[in-house]
Amino acid sequence: MSIHNQDRLLVQIASYNTNLQGIFGLPQDLVDWLSPTLQVSNFLSREPRAPDIVAVGFQELLPLHLGFSGLSKRVINQRDDLILSQIEAYAPNKEKYTLIAKIVNVGVALLVYGRDGGVARKVCDVQTQWTGCGPLFMGNKGAVGVRFRVAGDDGGAGEVFTFVCAHLTAHEHKLSSRISDYHHIVRTLLFPPLPNSDSTSPTTMYSTSHLFFFGDLNFRVSLPSSHPLSGITKRADFVKALESEADRESLKEHDQLLLEKSKGSAFVGLREGQFWKFKCTYKHQLGEVEKYSMLRTPSWTDRVLYVTHTDSPENPTESNIENLLYTSIPSYTTSDHKPIVALLSLPSVSNTSTATSPTLRLPPSYRPTPDPRANLKRYLGRTLDRVVGFTWLVLILIGAGSALLGLAALVGGSLFYTFWRWWRVRSFVVPFDNYYARTVESYLQGK
């Protein structure tokens, strides 16, 4: 197809687990990651075209003590300035962009931009949301979301776009936790009712015209024990097999996310491009372009999924969103993850004059419902985030930059204070007891 059909919006999704690097998690030149249209235009069209929407998601954005404390403003603002300057600098026709929304919860962040000449001037009803699915709903794992409406050219409602960036539970054996995380996000990442809707109830991320769900989803390649590449002793052979696209396509049959999606236990309705076309994004050795750690089975933990309102629930693997590009960026070496990027061509807008926006069609058996205790859970998690975060900060201050030294100093100080109090009490009580005994003895002798 040609990417010059202006009725088909181009959406660029980028995601990166930066390994708690904060402001040091990105090189200054982001062209390899955030400007893939320079490459795409070479084989799809004679003339380059810039994306209409750019969504950039991060996981493990900054050190946990800062994330828990909510002290992320400086880092997210620096990311915003850098990303905006880079996508404009490398836009094929020097297009300008406007930040539509940004949202961060602990280490999960999302920034969404719109092209000034088109989408950005029609954006309205911008909303942001967050939820945590760590221990007691803390935000070390969870999701953030951005929703907005692009009004129709003729005054109609237009279409609603929802972007969700997530970080789910880690480790291969915690598959059930990842599935629970997903359903928790669906039920607690809630938005206001759609415009012109008769309902006054909150809506889930599925109440939208287009849904994009991406991030470090942490699903692993889980090989059965009978597989010839299974086990840590075969890890080197597994890594070697990743060099071949045919072998990667065979290995993807053991990808947990693909299996669970096909069973309908998670990611209902969502589609995905051919992720096996690129190598596993995790776990890499720091400082290395293409060298895996032998501590984990390499896996496609970082993913981009999507669905649009014209997709049919009867054909769950086919989408009217065309995946023009889906790849990882091996040159980034400051994290054990590689960043990923997808360029998606949306279906043409069919009717913009209707009073209500079209919404996703889901299988009759799946009806996502909001959790009535969503806010209670979210704010319980956030309160615990702040308690843990500020306690952690105090320990770091006491320990001159080290929380462990701070904890040791606090414990040592408590023990010293306890001993000092015991010594003071003993040094007073013993002489008093001796004085009392002598007084009693003198009184008895005198009597």
State the pLDDT at residue 32: 80
Structure tokens at 220: 């692993």
- pTM as predicted: 0.89
At 365, which CATH number? 3.60.10.10
Residues of the chain above pLDDT 90, percent: 69
pLDDT digits (tens, 9 = 90+) for 102-127: 999 999 999 999 999 899 999 999 99
Is the residue at 348 inside a domain? yes
Is the residue at 308 inside a domain? yes
Is the residue at 413 inside a domain? no
C-alpha dihedral sign at 330, 333, 336, 337: negative
Per the structure, how many domains does the chain have?
1
State the pLDDT at residue 445: 63
Is the residue at 398 inside a domain? no
State the pLDDT at residue 410: 44
**In the beta sheet, which residues pair with residue 245?**
none
If one counts every other C-beta atom within 10 angstroms of the C-beta of residue 329, the result is 18
- Please, are residues 80 and 99 in contact by the beta-carbon 8 Å criterion? yes
Is the residue at 130 inside a domain? yes
Is the residue at 147 inside a domain? yes
- Please, are residues 151 and 124 in contact by the beta-carbon 8 Å criterion? yes
Domain interval for residue 311: 10-220+255-376
Distance, CA of 214 to CA of 307 (rounded, Å): 12
Q: Higher confidence at residue 31 or residue 57? A: 57
Q: Higher confidence at residue 417 or residue 14? A: 14
Distance, CA of 54 to CA of 35 (rounded, Å): 10
Is the residue at 440 inside a domain? no
- Please, are residues 157 and 355 in contact by the beta-carbon 8 Å criterion? yes
- Please, are residues 3 and 49 in contact by the beta-carbon 8 Å criterion? yes
Does residue 406 register a pLDDT over 80?
Answer: no
Q: Which of 3, 5, 65, 84 is nearest to 39 (CA)?
A: 3
- Please, are residues 161 and 209 in contact by the beta-carbon 8 Å criterion? yes
Is the residue at 417 inside a domain? no
